[in-house]
């Protein structure tokens, strides 16, 4: 039996030993926990430092993206920031070529040791890379970041020898993406192999986004600059860029003694193309002209579009006026070639004005203005011509401006006069109405006819005021006539311009004017040019229908001078067609002239339209149009434009009966019946008519030429 004291002692020793072991275990655990805590704190501190570095990279790149003027400048800052804050010693930029299939090295680097890295830099500067080739090529192929742990052992790294010589190993790259396409690639290299760091790549992708915004901003600025200096439709230089080039050309001419020539041209009757075929066709014509004219210019010559259908060619070193005229003739030739607009073929011409430096032209505006003056003179001489500027032309323009000012005053000073030319009903043998025609009683030049000021009114937007005055004066005089002759019916024809038709207040103004004089709409016929009737503007078409629904008559004036198609004519709300005087004049002098007029009359009757022959001045012409079945006639033979009192006297005098008696109808002719049969047969084929895109006159000429439609 053991000693109790010894047993207690042994138990106590055991407890102390266990307590010591427990203390050691606790101390060891605490030490481990302390170590782990220190390790975690150290890692956190490193992570925080790394995170702070990356934040600084993003901040510096964002600032650079906002402040840098160019991509190269912003990219250089980004390279330096990434290298300094991540410890990677070398950074470089590749840009993508215009076709997007090759990488071009830029001279944009961050390099911590130029001497040591010289071989790698040299190899890079001469290395253009295709899609998928090398580290940057992989990025171009995928539009995603790429990482190579060691480029010296990578089979797809063409610069491995230079990297090995320089002591470079790990490499990564990320794209700069703009509008979904890689625009550039940034690459970085380390002096030791390293495994991919996805977190680093994810953060640096934001750097690529920031740099992409620099490229987008610069591209936007270039577009704005280009748009400010170029025409949107054709891409040609605009007035601003032209004047700048012209200013420099004049400065060079002073030093060299060479002559600068400016060719100012616009397209003849271009508005009729827009009115007849629509603005898309007009745009196509402008773009075609912009493409054709440069083909006949010399290297160094410049073509610009100013506005609308106005173009300018700038030439330096023109040897003499003959050379300038030769160039103008080439311009006219290429413009005059037929232009296909969808199913339509457009024939158009140009008028060219030419001005030279040294002829009183000191500034670009002077020279441009002189060429503009010459161009207007070319138009006055006839379409499709060129004109050299001289001082006499400037005098004419000054007179034109004075005429414009006088016309503005004339409208308010009571200098305008309304004359009326009778329109004769050939079947009834009497005056059925009259066309109201404006005259200008000029205080110095006397009575002026419309041909001397109407074109000016149209060019200067005075035509609207003239039209308002003419309608008001016609209604006033018609009211007076009706009060004196309540039993006599008389319809007045008043011209309506396209600009008036485009006014949204037209119908309201017209109805208010007639109501003021108690004139019924049936007493007024609005005459509209053929191009106006074919106008595509919605407001014009609506106004024509509204006027017809109110009871006004609608007549196509100067028929045959526009581009109207048969189908379009059939759908318009018109009741009368006036054959242009040129067709009446040519009846007896041009082969096929009479047959053409006969076919126009027959076509009109087939469409339910009455026909007025304009410009009847000879008894033979009156006999012919009566024989062809024309409904009405107008011209000097039947009565010149005069006051309403004179017209009233003519109605009572028996003059019309005498004129008609002197031009009897040959009742034995069957020309009208034959033309009626041909045209009616063609018009009854609705499907073909609906597809017809030729002008009415062109279609009629085809019919008259002997081509008979199949039945």
Pair 355, 262: CB distance under 8 Å = yes
What range defines the domain where residue 372 resides?
A: 239-389
Residues 367 and 416 in one domain: no
Highest mean pLDDT among 160-174, 270-284, 458-472: 160-174
Residue 154 has pLDDT above 90, yes or no: yes
The whole-model pTM stands at 0.53
Instruction: Give the CATH number for residue 505.
Output: 3.20.20.450
What number is the average pLDDT over the span 685-693? 45
692/591: higher pLDDT: 591
Residue 34 within any structural domain of the chain: no
Domain total in the chain: 3
Considering only CA atoms, which of 167, 224, 214 is closest in space to residue 186?
214
Residue 50 within any structural domain of the chain: no
User: What is the secondary structure of 559-601 as a DSSP string?
Assistant: ETSS---HHHHHHS---EEEE-HHHHHHTTTSTTHHHHHHHHH
Pair 23, 40: CB distance under 8 Å = no
Residues 288 and 363 in one domain: yes
Pair 79, 64: CB distance under 8 Å = no
Considering only CA atoms, which of 259, 225, 271 is closest in space to residue 244?
225
Residues 444 and 538 in one domain: yes
Under the banding of pLDDT at 50, 70 and 90, the label for residue 677 is: low
pLDDT tens digits along 564-619: 566 667 778 899 999 989 889 988 787 778 888 998 899 889 889 999 999 999 99
Q: How far apart are CA 58 and CA 207, in angstroms?
A: 6
Give the containing element (helix H, strand E) for 544.
helix 538-549
Residues 274 and 310 in one domain: yes
Q: What are phi and psi of 612, to 5 degrees?
A: -115, 130
What number is the average pLDDT over the span 276-287? 88
pLDDT tens digits along 471-501: 999 999 999 999 999 988 899 999 998 888 8
Q: What is the mean pLDDT of the chain?
A: 85
514 C-beta neighbours (distance < 10 Å), count:
22
Cβ neighbours of residue 365 under 8 Å, at least 6 residues apart? 243
Residues 460 and 593 in one domain: yes
pLDDT at 95: 96
pLDDT tens digits along 197-252: 988 888 888 888 888 888 888 888 888 888 889 999 999 999 999 999 999 999 99
Residue 30 within any structural domain of the chain: no
pLDDT at 566: 65
Instruction: Give the CATH number for residue 276.
Output: 3.30.70.270
pLDDT at 99: 92
Instruction: Give the CATH number for residue 143.
Output: 3.30.450.40
pLDDT more than 90, % of the chain: 50
Secondary structure class of 224 (helix, strand, coil): helix
Residue 44 has pLDDT above 50, yes or no: no
3-state DSSP of 274-332: HHHHCHHHHHHHHHHHHHHHHHHCCCCCEEEEEECCEEEEEEECCCCHHHHHHHHHHHH
Residues 463 and 611 in one domain: yes
pLDDT tens digits along 54-69: 667 667 767 766 777 8
């Amino acid at each position: 039996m053991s000693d109790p004291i010894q047993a207690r002692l042994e138990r106590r020793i055991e407890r102390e030993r266990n307590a010591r072991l427990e203390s050691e275990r606790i101390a060891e655990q605490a030490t481990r926990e302390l170590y782990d805590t220190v390790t975690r704190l150290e890692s956190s501190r490193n992570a925080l430092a790394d995170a702070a570095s990356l934040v600084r990279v993003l901040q510096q790149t964002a600032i650079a993206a906002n402040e840098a003027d160019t991509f190269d400048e912003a990219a250089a800052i980004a390279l330096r920031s990434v290298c300094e804050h991540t410890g990677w010693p070398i950074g470089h930029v590749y840009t993508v070529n215009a076709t997007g299939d090759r990488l071009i090295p830029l001279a944009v680097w961050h390099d911590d040791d130029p001497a040591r890295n010289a071989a790698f830099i040299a190899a890079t500067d001469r290395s253009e890379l295709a899609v998928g080739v090398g580290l940057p090529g992989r990025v171009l192929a995928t539009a995603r970041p790429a990482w190579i742990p060691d480029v010296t052992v990578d089979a797809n790294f063409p610069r491995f020898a230079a990297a090995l010589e320089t002591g470079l190993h790990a490499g990564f790259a990320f794209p700069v993406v703009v509008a979904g396409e890689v625009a550039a690639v940034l690459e970085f290299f380390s002096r030791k192999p390293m495994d991919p760091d996805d977190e680093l790549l994810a953060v640096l992708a934001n750097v690529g986004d920031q740099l992409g915004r620099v490229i987008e901003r610069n591209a936007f600025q270039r577009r704005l600059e280009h748009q400010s200096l170029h025409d949107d439709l054709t891409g040609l230089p605009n007035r601003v860029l032209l004047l700048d080039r012209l200013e420099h050309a004049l400065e060079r001419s002073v030093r060299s003694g060479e002559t600068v020539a400016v060719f100012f041209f616009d397209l003849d009757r271009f508005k009729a193309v827009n009115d007849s075929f629509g603005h898309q066709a007009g745009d196509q014509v402008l773009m075609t002209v912009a493409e054709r004219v440069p083909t006949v210019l010399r290297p160094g010559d410049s073509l610009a579009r100013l506005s609308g259908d106005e173009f300018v060619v700038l030439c330096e070193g023109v040897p003499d006026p003959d050379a300038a005229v030769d160039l103008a003739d080439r311009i006219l030739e290429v413009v005059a070639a037929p232009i296909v607009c969808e199913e339509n073929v457009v024939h158009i011409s140009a008028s060219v004005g030419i001005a030279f430096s040294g002829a009183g032209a000191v500034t670009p505006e002077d020279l441009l203005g002189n060429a503009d003056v010459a161009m207007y003179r070319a138009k006055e001489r006839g379409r499709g011509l060129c004109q050299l500027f001289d001082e006499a032309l400037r005098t004419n323009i000054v007179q034109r401006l004075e005429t414009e000012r006088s016309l503005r005053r004339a409208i308010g000073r009571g200098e305008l006069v309304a004359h009326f030319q009778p329109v004769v009903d050939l079947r009834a043998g009497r005056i059925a109405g009259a066309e109201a025609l404006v005259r200008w009683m000029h205080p110095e030049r006397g009575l002026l006819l419309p041909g001397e000021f109407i074109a000016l009114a149209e060019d200067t937007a005075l035509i609207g005021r003239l039209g308002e005055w003419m309608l008001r004066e016609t209604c006033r005089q018609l009211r007076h006539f009706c009060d004196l002759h309540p039993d006599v019916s008389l319809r007045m024809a008043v011209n309506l311009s396209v600009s008036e038709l485009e006014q949204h207040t037209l119908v309201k103004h017209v109805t208010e004017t007639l109501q003021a004089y108690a004139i019924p709409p049936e007493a007024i016929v609005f005459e509209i040019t053929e191009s106006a009737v074919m106008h595509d503007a919605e407001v014009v078409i609506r106004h024509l229908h509204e006027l017809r629904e109110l009871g006004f008559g609608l007549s196509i004036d100067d028929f045959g001078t526009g581009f109207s198609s048969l189908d379009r004519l059939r759908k318009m709300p018109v009741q009368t067609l006036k054959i242009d005087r040129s067709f009446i004049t040519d009846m007896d002098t041009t082969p096929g002239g009479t047959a053409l007029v006969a076919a126009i009359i027959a076509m009109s009757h087939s469409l339910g339209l009455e026909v007025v022959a304009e410009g009847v001045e000879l008894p033979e012409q009156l006999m012919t149009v009566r024989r062809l079945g024309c409904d009405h006639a107008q011209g000097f033979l039947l009565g010149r434009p005069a006051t309403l009192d004179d017209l009233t006297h003519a109605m009572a005098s028996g003059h019309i009966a005498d004129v008609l008696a002197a031009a009897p109808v040959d009742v034995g002719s069957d020309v009208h019946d034959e033309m009626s049969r041909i045209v009616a047969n063609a018009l009854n084929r609705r499907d073909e008519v609906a597809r017809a895109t030729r002008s009415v006159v062109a279609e009629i000429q085809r019919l008259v030429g002997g081509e008979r439609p199949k039945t």
